[in-house]
Structure 1
Amino acid sequence: MNSVAETNLTGAGRSRSGALAQMLLIAATWGTAVLFIKLAVSHGLPPLILATLRAGLAGLTIGAWLLVSGAGIRLPPLRVALLLGLLNGFLPNVLLAYALSRIDSAPAALLQATTPLFVAALGQLGLSADRIVPRQALGMLAALGGLLLLIGPAAVLGGSATVIGSLAVLGAAMSYAGAALAVSRLRLAEPTQAAFGQQLAAMTFAAVAAALLEPPSAWQHSAWQQPAGVWWALLGMAVVSTAIPVILFFRLLRSTPPAQAALVHYLLPVAALIYGVGFLGERLQPLSLLGGVVVLASVWVANSAQAAARRTAQAQG
C-alpha cells in the first residue's frame, strides 16, 4: 500500500472516529432534554411558555459564549434564522413539551429515534440527492410495525403513553429531520452564529404564540411562581440540552451527510432511557420495549442501505 493510500485511510478513520465522538457527546447532552422537560411540565409549566424560556435562555448562553470566545455576535440571514428557529427550535420544543405532559420520557425517546426515517422520506421530495433503495424501503416498512407496537398497545391497554402524545413526538422528529436537511443545503459557514439566530427566532415564535394563546395570568402563575427545581430544569434544558448539542450538531453537519448525522438519534434513546430510569424511576412495558427495538433496528437497516447505495454510486461515478 502506498503512502498516499495509507494517509487517506488514516484520515478517513480519524474522521469517522471524530464524528462518532461528536455524536456520543451530542446524544449525552441532547438526551437530557426529555428529563428536564418532564420535570418542568410535571409542575404545570405550559408548553408554549416552556418553549419561550428554553429558547431565550439558550440564546443567552450561546450569545455569552460568542462574546467570551471573542467571535462576536453576527446574526445569520433572516431567512436562515427563521427557518431553523421554526424547524429546529419552536416546533419540536413545543411538541415535545406537549407530548411529555402525556407520555413517559422513555417511549418518547424511542419515538424520536424515527428522525433518520423522516430524513430519508423527506429526501424523496427533492430535498436530498439520496434515493430510497429496496432494502431501505423494507426497513422503513418494518419501522412502521415497530411504531404500532410502541404506540398502539400502550394506548389501548391504558398505559402511560397516548396516541396524541406519541403523534406529537413523531411531529417533533419530522421537524428535526427537516432542519437537518435544511442545514445541509444551507452549508452554514458559522454554525455558532446560526445557532444563536435560531434561538432568537424560536423564542420569538414561542413568545408570540404564548401571548396569543395563553392568558396573562399563565405567565405569573405558571412561570414566575415555579419552585427552584423547575428553574434549574429550565437552565439545564437551555444549556445542556439545547445550546451545547445544537452547536455540536451544526458543526457535525458541516462535514457529515444529513442522513449519517441523523444517526445520532439512534443514541438519543439510550441516553434518555438511562436518565428516565435513573432519575425519574420510569419502567418500560415489554411491548413498548419490543416496539422500540424494532424501530431502532429498522431505522439502522434503512440507513445502512442508503449509505451502501451512496458508496456504490460514488464508486461508479
Structure 2
Amino acid sequence: MKSRRRPYAEQRPQDLGGGVWSVPVPIPGSPLGYTLVYAVESPKGPVLVDAGWNHPDAWEALSGGLAALGLDVNAVRGVVVTHFHPDHAGLAGQVKEASGAWIAMHEDDAALVRLMTEYVATGHDDFHADMLRRAGADPGEARQAMGERPTPPAQPDRELRDGDLVDLPGRKLRAVHTPGHTPGHICLHLEDADRIFTGDHVLPDITPHVGIYPYDRDDVDPLSDFLDSLDRVSDLSSLNGPLDALPAHEWIFPDVAARAAEIRHHHEEKLERLRALLTRRPQPLTIWEVAAMMTWNRPWDDLPPTLRGMAAGEAAAHLRTLEARGAIRRVAGVDPVRFQALDS
C-alpha cells in the first residue's frame, strides 16, 4: 500500500492489513505536519511503533485514531520508539500512564534521555553558546540560533540492542540499529510480513537531518554511520526480498533498498561538492562559513537562526566524514575550528 503525502487535515487512520494500522498524529508548528504512528497486533494488546508529539491535540489524534480502528489506547501493551526525538517519543509517557505499557528504545538513545534529564537549563544555554562560537557564528547570531532547551521524553523501561526481538507475542519484530539521525535510531523489521518500520532513517522524499553536536567533535562520524546503516537496510532486502517501508513521515512506499540507494547517492554527491568547494578556497573555512556556502532547501539568508544552527550541524557532519576519509583536514590550534582541503 502506498499513500502520498497530504496535509494533516486530509490524513486518516488506516488499516494496512496483516494486523498493522497507521494513525497520523499532528506535530504543532512543524512543516512535516504529522508523525505516522503504527500499531501492530498481538494477542496481549497492540504495540505502538513511536507515539507522536506531546501535545493535547496529538493525544486526541492518537487515542481517537486508535479508537476509529477498533483499538483502545488503554489496552496498548508497549511503545517501541525508533529514536528519542519529541515527535516520536513525546507521547510515550502518556500512553504508559493510560495503559501501563512498557517503553522501549535503543540503549544509546536511552543514555541520551538520561543525560537530557540531568542537564540543567543554564548548562544547556552555555553549551550551545560555546558550540556556536567555536563553529564561527558571531555572538549575535549565536544568541538567536540557540533555540529552546528540549523537554526530555519519558525514561524507557526497556533498552534494545541490534538484533533484539521486541516483546510482541505471536509476531517477530526485530530491532535493526541504524545510527546517524540519532546514535540509537532503530528500524524495526516485521519479519513475518516483509515490512520494515523505518522511523526517520529512510523517508520517501526527504532525507533526515544528520548532524554533529558539538559541531567540532572529532571522535564521532555520524554521517558515515548513517551511510553504513543505509547499506544494512539494503542488505535486509537482499536477504529477505523487497521490503515495504513504513516510515514515520510522508507516505508508505515499496522497495526500501531502492530508496536507501538514492539517499546514499545524494550524500555522496553532497560530499563531493563540499570537497570541491574547499579545494577552491585558498584559506581554511569555519563550519559556519561552510554551512553558508552549501545548498539547502532555501537560501542561507532566508533560513531562520535555529535552522542555520541545524544546517551548521549537518555541515559539520559532512566535514567530519571528509576528514575521516582523508580528503580534508582541520587546522590545528585555531579557535574557531577551521577546515581545508589537503591538496590546497
After TM superposition, the score normalised by the length of structure 2 is 0.25
After TM superposition, the score normalised by the length of structure 1 is 0.26
Q: Which has the higher contact order (CA 8 A, sep 6+)?
A: 1
Higher helix share: 1
